[in-house]
Amino acid sequence: MTGLPKRLPTISQVAQAAGVSRATVSRTFSRPDLLKPETIKRVHEVAEKIGYVPNQVARALSTGRAGNIALVVPDIANPFFPPLIRAAQARADHAGYAVFLGDSDEQPEREDMLLTKMAAQVEGFILASPRLDEERVRAHAARRPLVLINRDIEGLPRILMDVSVGIAAAIEHLASLNHRHIAYVSGPPASWANQQRQQAAVRTAEKLGIHLTTVPAYHPNHEAGRKAAGELAQLPVTATIAFDDLVAQGIMAGLADLGWRIPQEMSIVGFDDVLAATTYPPLTTVAAHSADAGTQAVKLLTEVLSRGQIRDECIIIPTELIVRATTDQPTKRPRTASAEPRSETRTESSQQKPKRTGRR
Amino acid sequence: MTGLPKRLPTISQVAQAAGVSRATVSRTFSRPDLLKPETIKRVHEVAEKIGYVPNQVARALSTGRAGNIALVVPDIANPFFPPLIRAAQARADHAGYAVFLGDSDEQPEREDMLLTKMAAQVEGFILASPRLDEERVRAHAARRPLVLINRDIEGLPRILMDVSVGIAAAIEHLASLNHRHIAYVSGPPASWANQQRQQAAVRTAEKLGIHLTTVPAYHPNHEAGRKAAGELAQLPVTATIAFDDLVAQGIMAGLADLGWRIPQEMSIVGFDDVLAATTYPPLTTVAAHSADAGTQAVKLLTEVLSRGQIRDECIIIPTELIVRATTDQPTKRPRTASAEPRSETRTESSQQKPKRTGRR
DNA sequence: GGCCTCCATGTAACCGGTTGCATAAGGATT
DNA sequence: AATCCTTATGCAACCGGTTACATGGAGGCC
């Protein structure tokens, strides 16, 4: 048990020890071009010895530039975000900014609170998949430059993902494999991302003359997918597109519990490509390139910060189908008469299979 | 394209508009007990109208208390950390602190840099699984209170996981299922966590008279596990304990590629319980309760901050075996003569199975 | 009524940097 | 030698809060 660390060394201490003014020490670290090389050297030596590092807080107060940007996400634990966060950090670092990360826990009020508290400590905001209503987002954008990811609010710079390309590719891929009736397992109905994906799916299916049934999953996680599997098993579909990879993985587990083989008895397509290569079998999915979104957001924000102008820019990140091992031609189910109408029969048969009972 | 947001409203503007001094406005937000209720009300109204929020940066400069704590992790994308981060945030929030998150990308130098840059903006540090050498860690601890997670440096407050209990339980569990020869697939040899786990495994195996073989995986990820699976398949082991869940999942995928059935032909135990319920079959694992570690770390740090004393405290978080569906009694492999010596034969036979060829 | 206390608020210094302006020294120009 | 320019550095105000201390008015007490 010891006392707390004393205060950090200050510019005054360095100035005194080096026999120069505070201004000179300050310039050593911010505008060395104004000083004699030997002065710089001396100050650096003294600073090193004392353990002085410029105080970012004081610097922020006097310059108004904190050297930080805020990145707010709804849930760090959702695997969609970590790659985005890493990429954002890397890019921010590159531009001399540190990233202040906030997790809103999916709650709009927490999002609001975080933005308010952070406002003075950061130069700008990046809001990923914000849950806040448009009016509040605009209010925050009026205080600090703000870039949106996965949310389309006119007049604000934003990074969007063009889901339609990827979804269309996925459905075309399934169609070419001879699937004629597929399901879309949705995410949170209120989510902007879900609306985009669902609409794109409906539109493409219509165009290709494919029968599409929507099954709700509400929460975008494994468990919801697992539950949805039960419902899927009763539908006459041979392929499923899930809201995201987590849901897809849950569906795979749920169907496996019912004894279904993938992709033979059900083709599965995920979305986001965040788990993709780690599932078994490796998941066919629509890659959303979330890391790119993080990079682009920071790039856009730092441009706004340095140019002093807000650009009503909208950067679209293309999505892309990645075919792995969960999609294949539909096969007639060996255990039910192939042409037999549907659900009841199929459900029964799948329930006859021995069910795994690992505890959860 | 519009101009940047103007400066944030300041205390002076509020003071002027409310007809009081700056001190009074300040007290409205920090020591309201000193003021008349009606004054508070008036100031609040004015502040609300102007959109004033106390500037954390200025406050930090004058009080020396930033209201932030730093949490540095080696890799956000490793699923071990997000739950820890969330829990830490929640607890910090509770205590009135915001969390400044840094990702060191597993690089000691980045870790060093982050801590240096953040020093003035935070009141204390939490270092999760730090890669920095002990001397540097001590140097940072001398500047700001610091709590370690998963690293045992004497004299510093730290949160450790008692891996031995969980590992012992895992091996006893396997022993009781009649496994006599098991493998430990290690993580990074230099990692403190890996050393702990490996030692515990060796010790327990010895005590129970179980034959333990170590297989290196170097990187703690899915791919490394997948590679290790090839090696495992050639060993006469019937069960495997992996460095973490990611590696375990990779092993499962790798073995599945070779046509092995789990748990019938190989029992698998993971570590950390970060994926556990989402794999298929659900993974038996040693839960490390990483979220608890986050909570405890923040709790310890805030205590240190408010008591003004550093406690050389070491909080041990117990680990616990969670049995799911990847462990069972070893069965004789149906495709090889059960008593037959080993590897070559077994390897051949597994390669006869049709191999899945999803592209990666 | 005079004095003391207490309460609510104002005054001004301070936190640790940055930066516009002033100044001094040295060199070049004429 | 006087003037001017350039370069290197110091001086002091400022960023937006906090807080020790000062002040003034109201109420209590003898």
**Predicted confidence (pLDDT) per residue in B103-135, tens digit:** 998 899 999 998 988 888 999 999 999 999 999
- Rounded-to-integer distance, Cα B172 and Cα B175, Å: 5
User: Between B343-352 and B222-233, two packed helices, what is the crossing angle to 10 degrees?
Assistant: 120
Average confidence (pLDDT) over B186-202: 92
Chain A contact set for B356 (CB, 8 A): 281, 325
As ranges, strand D nucleotides with an atom below 7 A of a protein CB are: 7-12, 14-20
Residues forming beta bridges with residue B294, ordered by sequence position = none
Query: For B50-81, how does the pLDDT look when each residue is reduced to its tens digit (9 = 90+)?
Result: 999 999 999 999 999 999 999 999 999 989 99
The amino acid at residue A277 is A
Name the token pair of B210: 């179980």
Higher pLDDT, A4 or B237: B237
Is residue B330 over pLDDT 50? Answer: yes
Q: Is the dihedral of CA B322, B326, B329, B330 positive or negative?
A: negative
Residues touching nucleic chain D (CB < 7 Å): A 19-24, 27, 34-36, 39, 58, 61-62, 64; B 7-12, 22-23, 26-27, 29-31, 52, 54-55, 58-59, 61-63
Contact A291, A278 (CB under 8 A): no
Contact A358 B325 (CB under 8 A): yes
- Rounded-to-integer distance, Cα B322 and Cα B274, Å: 12
Domain A1-52 CATH (choose: 1.10.443.10, 1.10.1060.10, 1.20.1530.20, 1.10.260.40): 1.10.260.40
Number of A/B CB contacts below 8 angstroms equals 184
pLDDT band (50, 70, 90) for residue B345: very low
- State which fold the A68-161+291-318 domain adopts: Rossmann fold (3.40.50)
Give one DSSP letter per residue of B47-90, joined into a string. Answer: HHHHT----HHHHHHHHS--SEEEEEES-TTSTTHHHHHHHHHH
Q: Provide the residue count of chain B.
A: 360
Contact A289, A274 (CB under 8 A): no
Strand-strand pairing, A68-73 and A267-272: unpaired
Name the token pair of A135: 């009016």
Element (H or E) spanning A29, and its range? helix A22-30
Lowest mean per-residue pLDDT among A222-231, A335-344, B278-287, B289-298: A335-344
User: Between A245-257 and A222-233, two packed helices, what is the crossing angle to 10 degrees?
Assistant: 50
C-alpha torsion angle, residues B282, B285, B288, B289 (rounded to 10): 30
Average pLDDT, chain B: 89
Other C-beta atoms lying within 10 Å of the C-beta of residue A332: 12
The pLDDT value recorded for residue A7 is 78
- Rounded-to-integer distance, Cα B93 and Cα A117, Å: 11
A38's CB contacts (< 8 A; 6+ apart) are none
Element (H or E) spanning B309, and its range? strand B309-310
- Rounded-to-integer distance, Cα A284 and Cα A270, Å: 6
pLDDT in tens, chain A (360 residues): 566 666 789 999 999 999 999 999 999 999 999 999 999 999 999 999 999 999 999 999 999 999 999 999 999 998 999 999 999 999 999 998 999 889 998 899 999 998 988 888 999 999 999 989 999 999 999 989 999 999 999 999 999 999 999 999 999 999 999 999 999 999 988 888 899 999 999 999 999 999 999 999 988 889 999 999 999 999 999 999 999 999 999 999 999 999 999 999 999 999 999 997 899 999 999 999 999 999 999 999 999 998 877 777 899 999 999 999 999 999 865 444 333 333 333 333 333 333 333 333
- Rounded-to-integer distance, Cα A296 and Cα A319, Å: 15
Asked, colleague to colleague, whether B68-161+291-318 and B163-289+322-352 share their fold, the answer is yes
A59 touches strand C (CB under 7 A): yes
Distances in whole angstroms, Cα of residue B341 to Cα of each of B260, B346, B347, B353: 18, 9, 12, 20
Other C-beta atoms lying within 10 Å of the C-beta of residue A99: 24
- State which fold the B163-289+322-352 domain adopts: Rossmann fold (3.40.50)
User: What residues does each domain of chain B span?
Assistant: 68-161+291-318, 163-289+322-352
User: Which residues numbered 55-84 in chain B sit less than 7 A from strand C, measured from CB?
Assistant: 58, 61-62, 64
Distances in whole angstroms, Cα of residue B168 to Cα of each of A182, B151, B176, B248: 47, 21, 12, 18
The pLDDT value recorded for residue A333 is 52
A331 touches strand C (CB under 7 A): no
Contact B202, B212 (CB under 8 A): yes
- Rounded-to-integer distance, Cα B188 and Cα B175, Å: 26
Characterise B67 by phi-psi region: left (phi > 0), alpha (psi -120 to 50), beta (else). left
C-alpha torsion angle, residues A75, A76, A77, A82 (rounded to 10): 130
